[in-house]
A = this chain, B = another copy of it.
Amino acid sequence: MFKILRVNMSDLSVKSEEIPEAYQGLGGRGLTSAIVNKEVEPTCSPIGPNNKLIFAPGLLGGTNCANSGRISVGAKSPLTGTIKESNSGGQAGQYLAKLGIAAIVIEDLPQDGKLHKLFIGKDKYELSPADDLKGLGNYATVDKLKAEFGDKVGFASIGQAGEWKLAAASVAFSDVDVRPTRHAGRGGLGAVMGSKGLKAIIIDPSDGETAPLADKDAFKEAAKRFAKALSEHAVTGQGLPTYGTDVLINIINEAGGLPTRNFRSGRFENADKVGGETLNKITVERKGEPTHGCMTGCIIRCSGIFLDKKGEYVSKWPEYETVWAWGPNCEIDDLDAIARIDRVCDDIGVDTIELGNSVAVAMDGGVKEFGDAAAAEELIAEVAKGTPLGRILGSGAAVVGKAFGVRRVPVVKNQALPAYDPRAVKGVGVTYATSTMGADHTAGYAVATNIMKVGGDVDPLKAEGQVKLSRDLQIATAAIDTCGLCLFVAFPVLDIPDAFVAVVDMVNAKYGLSLTGDDVGALGQRVLTMERDFNTRAGFTPADDRLPEFFKLEKLGPHNEVFDVPDEELDTVFDF
């Protein structure tokens, strides 16, 4: 049955245990947040001995349910100081679930400061020295590990940024092509892994099994209905497979919500040059793959392969957030440069959103000129080299603002804002302000309803209705993240009633339960409540649930809007 692995980096022991009562019925984000909330002292140092780093596949992980292989990583965040769950695609989620592992909990600090790697196979868990991997990027790390362990395994690893414990460091997960292109990017969890001296985890699913199901037939039937909904919805069935997430560039630009030049405008004149349509076009021209999944079991397949002009592999398709952060927000319109930057970010292991914001804030502070793609590539090279300038950038946008005296720093709880201006997409502004994770679009993606009119229609420019929208989405998202489902399933789930029912049916069929839709909502609320409890004990208050003041002071063109959802309303988001 499923178990929890306890990995102690001080005495280098690995122990497996039954899932304690308190954690039963949880997976993914629900499980990582429960463990952090219960076991981590909220005021501890995020890179000290009392933080814990947790990896957990979702409740539906290890099954044949489409898009159920996300992996959640949790800890107290070095970037925000809050509880953090950052989830990722790639192979790790499915592999761990098939090995019967509900969570890996990495504890304490190494006594000798040396690096280790952790091997996980069928009933075999082993820590071993990894000093030969010291200083390597994720690509070189994975190459070396492939030489040793083959390519039928999954990897989680950190690059140099994680070793340096930079607050923007990510945890990389290898994809279906065994490349380290999928990242738990947000919140600096790579720094926690680095502090623990854990360079990589190797997950060998040999002899693993599809997760046991209480009612196989019911599960199969529900999974089929769920897959059908994913295929039929316009976003998951057509938009994402064809243009990737970068399909959003032109949509959000049109809506006047594409933050440009460090959030100085909501429209970028050259948006189309970096949009999904262009990405698709040049990928087809260069004979790359425009439609590609990031993990086994994905049927959306939004991640293409980006080739350079010579047809050589550069990176996976940069996500919309990445294209935005390094494109419009830095006034850059060169997709090739952005793809190269994406590759470097994946290699050194940093969050592309945080780093792109770092660079935009630095440009706003006069360190480099907006619009200079070569300068942006120089800056990411500074991060890769670990120079003092690179350390500033790699510590996140708030530190950049401090170092260069910039007051227009788009962060909430110290985490940089993603690719939707909260003045033009006010629902996501509520999510940024109030999320337990710092500014995070994935925590309650109100863009869907504000802009794409999925799951209803709430005017993006009006304050009215945004708090309820964000509340409902934050609850639903916490449940989706607990199931290990890709967030994009939310599009059909919001629009097609049976898609949601199918998710509940699958959970029931797997665990032999009889949950209702309300129970799933209650699960989401339970997860948020645990996260809020941790944050409160860590010292967070309503004063932290606010956007930076410049979003209230500066009007955003073309709509000339400020963020005007009242503070008192923000304080009711978690009234449930």
Q: Which residues of A contact B (CB under 8 A)?
A: 41-45, 47-50, 78, 164-167, 191, 194-195, 387-389, 391-392, 395, 399, 402-405, 407, 537-544, 546, 548-550, 553
Identify A195's interface contact among B404, B407, B537, CB under 8 A. Answer: B407
The answer to whether B402 and A395 have CB atoms under 8 Å apart is: yes
Identify A392's interface contact among B44, B403, B538, CB under 8 A. Answer: B403
In the A-B complex, the 7 residue pairs with the closest CB atoms? A165-B405, A539-B543, A388-B389, A388-B388, A391-B403, A395-B402, A539-B541
The answer to whether A550 and B48 have CB atoms under 8 Å apart is: yes
The answer to whether A403 and B395 have CB atoms under 8 Å apart is: yes
Copies in the complex: 2
**A166 / chain B contacts, CB cutoff of 8 Å:** 402-403, 405
Q: How far is the CB of A405 from chain B (nearest CB, A)?
A: 3
Known contacts A402-B399, A403-B388, A407-B48; decide if A543 and B538 are in contact (CB<8 Å).
Answer: yes
13 contacts between A and B (CB under 8 A): A42-B543, A43-B543, A48-B549, A48-B550, A50-B549, A166-B403, A166-B405, A391-B404, A392-B403, A395-B403, A399-B399, A539-B540, A540-B541
The answer to whether A546 and B43 have CB atoms under 8 Å apart is: yes
Q: How far is the CB of A158 from chain B (nearest CB, A)?
A: 12
Assembly CA distance A47 to B550 (angstroms): 12
Q: How far is the CB of A294 from chain B (nearest CB, A)?
A: 29
**A540 / chain B contacts, CB cutoff of 8 Å:** 539, 541
Q: How far is the CB of A83 from chain B (nearest CB, A)?
A: 13
Kindly name the residue among A42, A402, A544 whose own CB sees the greatest number of chain B CB atoms within 10 A: A402
**A399 / chain B contacts, CB cutoff of 8 Å:** 395, 399, 402-403
> Mostly helix, strand, loop or mixed at chain A's interface?
loop
Kindly name the residue among A167, A403, A542, A549 whose own CB sees the greatest number of chain B CB atoms within 10 A: A403
Assembly CA distance A164 to B367 (angstroms): 12
New contact pairs (7) apart from A167-B402, A191-B405, A194-B405, CB-CB < 8 Å: A41-B549, A45-B550, A50-B549, A166-B402, A166-B403, A539-B540, A541-B541
Q: How far is the CB of A549 from chain B (nearest CB, A)?
A: 6
**A195 / chain B contacts, CB cutoff of 8 Å:** 405, 407
Q: How far is the CB of A540 from chain B (nearest CB, A)?
A: 7
Assembly CA distance A541 to B404 (angstroms): 29
Q: How far is the CB of A203 from chain B (nearest CB, A)?
A: 27
Assembly CA distance A546 to B538 (angstroms): 11
**A191 / chain B contacts, CB cutoff of 8 Å:** 405
The answer to whether B391 and A391 have CB atoms under 8 Å apart is: no
The answer to whether B405 and A164 have CB atoms under 8 Å apart is: yes
Question: In the complex, which residue of chain B has the Cβ closest to the Cβ of A161?
Answer: B405
The answer to whether B403 and A49 have CB atoms under 8 Å apart is: no
Assembly CA distance A191 to B402 (angstroms): 10
Known contacts A47-B405, A402-B395, A405-B165; decide if A543 and B549 are in contact (CB<8 Å).
Answer: no
Q: How far is the CB of A396 from chain B (nearest CB, A)?
A: 8
Assembly CA distance A188 to B50 (angstroms): 31
The answer to whether A43 and B549 have CB atoms under 8 Å apart is: yes
Question: In the complex, which residue of chain B has the Cβ closest to the Cβ of A48?
Answer: B407
Identify A44's interface contact among B41, B49, B167, B549, CB under 8 A. Answer: B549
**A165 / chain B contacts, CB cutoff of 8 Å:** 405
**A50 / chain B contacts, CB cutoff of 8 Å:** 549
**A42 / chain B contacts, CB cutoff of 8 Å:** 543
Q: How far is the CB of A387 from chain B (nearest CB, A)?
A: 7
Question: In the complex, which residue of chain B has the Cβ closest to the Cβ of A46?
Answer: B407
Assembly CA distance A549 to B40 (angstroms): 13
Kindly name the residue among A195, A388, A399, A404 whose own CB sees the greatest number of chain B CB atoms within 10 A: A388
Assembly CA distance A404 to B537 (angstroms): 27
**A47 / chain B contacts, CB cutoff of 8 Å:** 405, 407
Assembly CA distance A407 to B195 (angstroms): 9
Assembly CA distance A538 to B546 (angstroms): 11
**A78 / chain B contacts, CB cutoff of 8 Å:** 402
Q: How far is the CB of A401 from chain B (nearest CB, A)?
A: 9
